[in-house]
A and B are shown apart, each in its own frame.
Chain A
Amino acid sequence: MHNAVCSEIIKFRRNKMAWMGTLIIVTIPLFMIWNRLVVDPQREYMEWLMSVLMLNTLILPIVNGFVITSSMQREYQDRTIRNVLTTPVSREKFLTAKLVVWFLWYLISFCLSEVIVTAGCYVLFPIEFTTGNMRYALSLLTQNNFFSFIVGIPIFLICVKQQTLFYPSMLATLGSAVLQAAGLQVSEELILEACVCPWTAVSISGIVGFDTHYYWVCFVSILLCGLVSFMGVIISFKNQDQ
């Protein structure tokens, strides 16, 4: 497993899409800092933070989907998957290594983004820059980013199914991002339905409190989505002729 992960890291280091993705993710808070400084200096702390969250919710799933699509589709298109499997590496290990390295990239990227958000808060809102406020802001962003990654695993399944194609996963990525953003606008009457849908549940879990049952419905829905999708990835890949 360690070998498969190390090999995947070598490939990922030269993945232009991943570098581009990191740049875009890091640009979101930088853009919001610039916006507060130059365009809208009157914007308040909570409003600014929610704007960062909104942009994150929209952009992160898109970048995430594009990165896994490029990483997986290249294996099929360049036919490297045959060389990888005859190395030999078991199909489960190959997929798990892909997932691990994809997650590591995502983790590093959103951690960088959160560092910039923290620095932005310090510069833009020195009064609101308190431990309590920062703990809230970072936990909100971190939870949102983690959940967003988990509900992005179905894109991985589509990547395996589509093989050399790329547009099905691209479309699914855009759909997933739209649903996640829509989760922030859900009315009170539809909140339970939105909690059951894993993609809208990502945003809702950030709005509702930990102590509400809605949060736990969201949590289970997101977790199941990730688990079932990854099982689907393994089953689908194992049954595939290369």
Chain B
Amino acid sequence: MEYTIQTYGLCKKYGGCSVVQNVSMHVPKGQIYGLLGRNGAGKTTIMKILLGLVKKDSGSVTLFNQVMADYQSGIYARIGSTIESPGFYSNLTAVENLSVFSRLRGKVDRNKIRNALGVVGLPYQDKKMFSKYSLGMKQRLAIANAIINDPELLILDEPTNGLDPIGIAEMRTLIRRLSHECGKTILISSHQLSEMEQMVDWIGIIHEGRMLEECSYQQLEENRQHSYIRLVVKEPEQVYEYLKKNLSIENIKRPEASVIEIYDLKYGTLELNSRLFTAGFAVAEISKCQNSLEDYFKKLTGGAGIA
């Protein structure tokens, strides 16, 4: 498989605090790679290291099969990015802001500016200053700036922050389209699991600066599909004993007082319900459940949730 981004043993400390610890990451070409982690997990720092905004302490970064030892403008010119909150000149309009950054890249192409604004749904003939923009509009402008030069790689740090639900859905469609139709490689970070589930092809789960898991989304789906039967009963102690002794079920958990979770699926819900009923136990609720991505995330991080 060809990778657009590869990192090996990436480390970064701020003061005495390690924010990125030995992170190895592989972003396949033409795919959407989601970097998932809580706030402060190190997602933004990794992205900043990739973009040369932050110096790494150790490790290596390979972009487009070139090891990034020093500043290489040719490589960075192939990347579009938005990092943290959108950074634009508050006293300039959207077009003026995009003109400033286009001028830095070379020529100011009005058509490119018009197209980029059109893609993100911002008006071209708008005299409104950036300071008057809503957070959603600012976010859209940041995306416009990232895609204006038709880059091969997009690095988007929480691009849906501040967008309304329709805006989020539109952004999701746009990101998918950019990857699947235009063949762009996209590295996207988020702490919103539901967002990631609907968008990414590959996922990297990061927690406290460490990469806990990196796999394709398909693989992740298979990993987390641990079904179990959830029981809500009146006499949990007795039921627990009955299940163990009489039905020889081993893998049982009791997350709450009246709740029992059975991971050993030798009996289906119907049969289990029938046996418990016959044994004289009152079952308030019985259902077959599946681990959500959040459950899986918690399992990986040792209990820490995403938010």
Does B associate with A?
Answer: yes
**Chain A residues engaging chain B, CB cutoff 8 angstroms:** 3-4, 6-7, 10-11, 14-16, 74, 78-91, 239, 241-242
B73 at the interface (CB under 8 A from A): yes
Chain A contacts of B77 at CB under 8 A? 88
In the complex, A85 Cα to B55 Cα: how many Å? 13
Starting from the known contacts A82-B84, A83-B88, A242-B48, 4 additional A-B residue pairs (CB-CB under 8 Å) come to: A7-B101, A11-B92, A14-B96, A79-B87
In the complex, A6 Cα to B102 Cα: how many Å? 11
Q: Are B101 and A87 in contact (CB under 8 A)?
A: yes
Given A78-B90, A83-B145, A242-B53, verify A10-B103 contact (CB < 8 Å).
Answer: yes
| Number of residues on chain B facing chain A (CB within 8 A) | 31
* Most interface-central of A4, A6, A81 (chain B CB within 10 A): A6
B51 at the interface (CB under 8 A from A): yes
Chain B contacts of A6 at CB under 8 A? 103
Q: Mark each residue of chain B from 90 to 110: 1 if its CB lies under 8 Å from any CB of chain A, else 0.
A: 111000100111011110000
B281 at the interface (CB under 8 A from A): no
Q: Mark each residue of chain B from 25 to 54: 1 if its CB lies under 8 Å from any CB of chain A, else 0.
A: 000000000000000000000001001111
Please name the residue on chain A nearest to B106 by beta carbon.
Answer: A3
Q: In angstroms, how far is the closest chain B Cβ from the Cβ of A206?
A: 37
| CB neighbors of A among B63-77 (8 A) | 71, 73, 76-77
Q: Mark each residue of chain B from 168 to 199: 1 if its CB lies under 8 Å from any CB of chain A, else 0.
A: 00000000000000000000000000000000
Chain A contacts of B267 at CB under 8 A? none
Q: Are A80 and B103 in contact (CB under 8 A)?
A: no
Chain A contacts of B52 at CB under 8 A? 85-86, 88
Chain A interface helix/strand/loop/mixed: helix
In the complex, A4 Cα to B54 Cα: how many Å? 21
Q: Are B73 and A90 in contact (CB under 8 A)?
A: yes
Contact of B105 among A16, A82, A87, A242 (CB under 8 A): A87
Contact of A86 among B79, B99, B106 (CB under 8 A): B79
14 A-B contacts (beta carbon < 8 Å): A7-B100, A11-B89, A14-B92, A78-B87, A79-B85, A82-B83, A83-B88, A83-B101, A84-B101, A85-B52, A86-B83, A87-B76, A88-B79, A242-B48
In the complex, A89 Cα to B202 Cα: how many Å? 31
In the complex, A24 Cα to B49 Cα: how many Å? 43
In the complex, A91 Cα to B70 Cα: how many Å? 12
Please name the residue on chain A nearest to B131 by beta carbon.
Answer: A78
Q: Are B105 and A3 in contact (CB under 8 A)?
A: yes
Chain B contacts of A239 at CB under 8 A? 55
B81 at the interface (CB under 8 A from A): yes
Please name the residue on chain A nearest to B105 by beta carbon.
Answer: A87
Contact of A90 among B54, B71, B84, B101 (CB under 8 A): B71
| CB neighbors of A among B144-172 (8 A) | 145
Q: Are A11 and B100 in contact (CB under 8 A)?
A: yes
Q: In angstroms, how far is the closest chain B Cβ from the Cβ of A230?
A: 19
Given A242-B53, A242-B54, verify A80-B89 contact (CB < 8 Å).
Answer: yes
What are the 9 closest A-B residue pairs judged by CB atoms, nearest first?
A: A79-B87, A88-B76, A7-B103, A242-B53, A87-B104, A241-B54, A80-B87, A7-B104, A88-B73
Chain A contacts of B54 at CB under 8 A? 241-242
Chain A contacts of B73 at CB under 8 A? 88-90
In the complex, A88 Cα to B105 Cα: how many Å? 7
Q: In angstroms, how far is the closest chain B Cβ from the Cβ of A96?
A: 13
Q: Are A82 and B53 in contact (CB under 8 A)?
A: yes
Please name the residue on chain A nearest to B85 by beta carbon.
Answer: A79
Q: In angstroms, how far is the closest chain A Cβ from the Cβ of B99?
A: 6
Contact of B81 among A4, A79, A86, A241 (CB under 8 A): A86
In the complex, A84 Cα to B88 Cα: how many Å? 10
Q: In angstroms, how far is the closest chain A Cβ from the Cβ of B19?
A: 11
